[in-house]
A and B are shown apart, each in its own frame.
Chain A
């Protein structure tokens, strides 16, 4: 009779978290060496950053437009439409910008990181690098991790800017709110350090977490097509959950 106990889902999840933690230390240790591959890091920043611009800008514009529309009718009930610019900006800078950008980033850049590294694992490219005495952690993983940290806050800022533009288009150009009121209240009530910069910190943390999850999933995937597919799915699911949980924790600390 087999007495071996089947590991529970919670046990598996904890083991994964532990392994990802060790992987993070390995990446951090590989970062100094990865500076030798600066061009590769720049290429990755371009790939996960610049190549994500279309989806980030489009979504930012529409999120701002929807937010403006919803808030205008809500604020109108209390005679507070003058606060539209302020409320939109605070919502975007503090929450929606970093969180929605992170979710989009996980879907656009995180999945491509996982699939690319997973396929490199499946086709022995990572083993070939190791046999050429090139550490895949410093050549493949660390540049992508750095790219995630650098690109995410920039993308979140662009998302915010497009969101404000979308809100202005709906609130001022369409619904007729005064242009001076929209901008004046916003600049008077939004603080760069407590509102905008806190959002940047959040998005930096989200970028690190997503890049860690994506590279970890790719690096440790079973070398099969099914393994790569599952790893890619896990990247999106895990990143989304961790981003939302981390958002709550960071909001509690940064309030």
Chain B
């Protein structure tokens, strides 16, 4: 079923040395459900890699493994040459100082204004003059189109605006690795386009390595250099987005074509529908 070119999912073209994130033999079981069944993947340095897959397939869990928020049952997760499961809490925090993370639900600090949210990482880690902090924060807010909202509180923002503020906060320290967990959810077409451009610009100008978890294939196709499609605990397919879109396999056809029938079941495992409705089995 695996459509990858490599038996373990990792592309030999992305050699060990140029992978910013390298995952080998990742096994994860959560609440008795197998999330990852020995997957391997490489996130090439300086590229945008998209992780796609059906809901509940473990995309956010994978990001949590990469950032050391969640321990895996087995496997190696190397980020910038360091094996995350072996790191102490202090070493993990050192690593995270070089990672920007955009949370699915924005996770803004509700007691702080937009300005203070974006300034938070700077204030916590660097002793900078207030004028410089202000300029950096306003520059980032300008990039996401919210410089005018600097004094608003998170409760006054729409979901899309909150996401853009969270993006400004995530990139405030020019991270080496940028992780976007569903960055396009709740954005109107104008904001989506700008955020897409921003992700691409960060990658092109600063050489930031990016991991992008998203469901919007059209947006991913414009931004990503490489796509991993994860399903059933394994890497189901991988490659350049254009190549994947044209690949004639049940996985890509179903996922990118949005078909209900295919290797990924639309229905959560359940008893017979007819039996649940009170009819003899097989009637419905």
> Does A9 sit at the interface, judged by CB under 8 A?
no
> Does B256 sit at the interface, judged by CB under 8 A?
no
Q: How far is A133 from B108 in the complex, measured between Cα atoms in Å?
A: 15
List chain B residues, Cβ under 8 A from A139.
124
Q: Are B107 and A130 in contact (CB under 8 A)?
A: no
Q: Are A123 and B105 in contact (CB under 8 A)?
A: yes
Please count the residue pairs between chain A and chain B whose beta carbons lie under 8 angstroms apart in the complex. Answer: 46
Expressed in whole angstroms, the minimum distance between the Cβ of A254 and any Cβ of chain B is: 38
List chain A residues, Cβ under 8 A from B101.
128, 131
> Does B14 sit at the interface, judged by CB under 8 A?
no
> Does B244 sit at the interface, judged by CB under 8 A?
no
> Does B259 sit at the interface, judged by CB under 8 A?
no
Q: Which of B97, B107, B125 contacts A128 (CB 8 A)?
A: B107
Q: How far is A168 from B99 in the complex, measured between Cα atoms in Å?
A: 63
Q: How far is A204 from B256 in the complex, measured between Cα atoms in Å?
A: 62
Q: Are B107 and A133 in contact (CB under 8 A)?
A: no
Q: Which residues of B, 70-111, contact A by the 8 Å Cβ criterion?
A: 89, 93-94, 96-97, 99, 101, 103, 105, 107-110
Q: Which residues of A, 35-84, contact B by the 8 Å Cβ criterion?
A: none
Q: Are A124 and B103 in contact (CB under 8 A)?
A: yes
> Does A125 sit at the interface, judged by CB under 8 A?
yes
List chain A residues, Cβ under 8 A from B107.
123-125, 127-128
**Interface magnitude class on chain A:** 10 to 19
Q: Are B124 and A127 in contact (CB under 8 A)?
A: no
Q: Which residues of A, 114-131, contact B by the 8 Å Cβ criterion?
A: 119, 123-125, 127-131
In the complex, the chain B residue whose C-beta lies closest to that of A131 is: B101
Expressed in whole angstroms, the minimum distance between the Cβ of B155 and any Cβ of chain A is: 11
Q: Which residues of B, 40-77, contact A by the 8 Å Cβ criterion?
A: 67, 69
Q: How far is A132 from B103 in the complex, measured between Cα atoms in Å?
A: 12
> Does A134 sit at the interface, judged by CB under 8 A?
yes
List chain B residues, Cβ under 8 A from A132.
96, 120-121, 124, 169
Q: How far is A124 from B69 in the complex, measured between Cα atoms in Å?
A: 12
> Does A135 sit at the interface, judged by CB under 8 A?
yes
Q: Are A131 and B69 in contact (CB under 8 A)?
A: yes
Expressed in whole angstroms, the minimum distance between the Cβ of A123 and any Cβ of chain B is: 6
Q: How far is A139 from B121 in the complex, measured between Cα atoms in Å?
A: 12
Q: With A123-B110, A127-B69 known to touch, is A133 a contact of B93 (CB < 8 Å)?
A: yes
Interface centre among B89, B108, B124 (most CB of A within 10 A): B124
Q: Which of B103, B110, B125 contacts A133 (CB 8 A)?
A: B125
Q: Are B96 and A131 in contact (CB under 8 A)?
A: yes
List chain B residues, Cβ under 8 A from A134.
120-121, 124
Q: Which residues of A, 130-180, contact B by the 8 Å Cβ criterion?
A: 130-135, 139
Q: How far is A130 from B68 in the complex, measured between Cα atoms in Å?
A: 10
Q: Are B109 and A125 in contact (CB under 8 A)?
A: yes
In the complex, the chain A residue whose C-beta lies closest to that of B96 is: A133
List chain A residues, Cβ under 8 A from B169.
132
In the complex, the chain B residue whose C-beta lies closest to that of A116 is: B111
Q: Which of B67, B89, B94, B105 contacts A131 (CB 8 A)?
A: B67
Q: How far is A135 from B94 in the complex, measured between Cα atoms in Å?
A: 12
Expressed in whole angstroms, the minimum distance between the Cβ of B173 and any Cβ of chain A is: 9
List chain B residues, Cβ under 8 A from A131.
67, 69, 96, 99, 101, 103
Binding site for A on B (CB under 8 A): 67, 69, 89, 93-94, 96-97, 99, 101, 103, 105, 107-110, 120-121, 124-125, 169
Supply 10 A–B pairs (Cβ within 8 Å), ascending by A: A123-B110, A124-B105, A125-B108, A127-B107, A128-B101, A128-B108, A133-B121, A133-B124, A133-B125, A134-B121
